[in-house]
Amino acid sequence: MIHNPGRRLADVKYRSSEEILTHPCFVPARNAFVDAVLALYAGDPFLTRLILEAGRFVTFANIMCLHARYDEADRSTWPTIGRLNESMLQFGLSSPRRVEALVARLVHSGFLEMVPSRQDRRVRILTPTQRMIDHDLDWLAAHYLPLHILFPDAGFAPMVQRDRAFQLAQRLASIEFFGHGAHILASNPGVMLFMSRDAGMLILIKLIQMTHAATNESRTGLSYTNIGALFGVSRTHVREILLEAERAGFVQLSGRGGQLVQLTPAVIQVFDHFIADSLSGLDLMFQIALKTMASKKPSTHDTASSPR
């Protein structure tokens, strides 16, 4: 069954959250996603702290989307700080000051360049470097993997294989649906408890992986002592997140000093619902990208290089 959202997208059919969540292979697909995301970030504290908080990650993704639309001949498409701030307003996650601070960090760390426009040297164009483009490809591959597992004949393989033409088409499609992404976040407040904190979502994902791998231990509690080191945050920071999650009914802390944690069914349900919503949105972007690629000649825009 394919979901049809109504008049605005009457000609775009994509899989609903319900279809994804009730698929008999959803749990294996979700576990593959968990493993892929942890493989991408675990052991890289710098990258984790740089972009894995909701506001910072959305800023990163929006830069990639604005870059995909960039046409030097059309000033309205120029990816500038001002246009980036405009794109962030509907998410309600970051102030202009925070966005500008993250842009400065991305530039300093080699992910982004501020390139003077050849048409107006006063204007600086936000230009992803190869490092940023490659990380975005990795992110897309990890997030399209569960869809590829659930629907192996649906054509998701290029996303999992890091195809750059599909990357450009997907990011170009996404720019018209920032509101859709904002709605997904707003519709999943339980997940935002984790996403709003540095490495919070990764901490939850790691605990889900540990719970899946454990047997008897998961019934009495898992030690979270070493999780912080994986993602470059302190043990105190991890504990503060888990204390807040416990108050929300998402975990149970036990043992001496609350050093053991057990996930409740409620947090698994919240996480799975968010993943299903996200995968449905990713499928929507993919279907639009396919239509765009089929209706237009190959773009001369090369995501592999940065204009100088």
Cα separation of 50 and 60, whole Å?
Answer: 10
For residues 126 and 198, membership in a common domain is answered with no
What range defines the domain where residue 201 resides? 190-267
Report the predicted TM-score, pTM, of the whole model to 2 decimal places. 0.87
For residues 171 and 290, membership in a common domain is answered with yes
For residues 57 and 191, the answer to whether their CB atoms sit within 8 Å is: no
For residues 167 and 254, membership in a common domain is answered with no
**Is residue 247 domain-resident?**
yes
**Is residue 16 domain-resident?**
no
Q: State residue 49's pLDDT score.
A: 76
In CATH, what number is assigned to the domain containing residue 211? 1.10.10
pLDDT tens digits in sequence order for the chain, 308 residues long: 454 444 345 578 999 999 999 999 999 999 999 999 999 988 787 888 777 777 888 899 999 999 999 999 999 999 999 999 998 887 776 788 989 999 999 999 999 999 999 999 999 999 999 999 999 999 999 999 999 999 999 999 999 999 999 999 999 999 888 788 888 988 999 999 999 898 899 999 999 999 999 865 555 689 999 999 888 899 999 999 999 999 999 999 998 878 899 999 999 999 999 999 999 999 999 999 999 898 875 544 544 444 43
**Is residue 13 domain-resident?**
no
DSSP notation for 8-37: TTTT--B--HHHHHTSTTHHHHHHHHHHHH
- Count of domains observed in the chain: 2
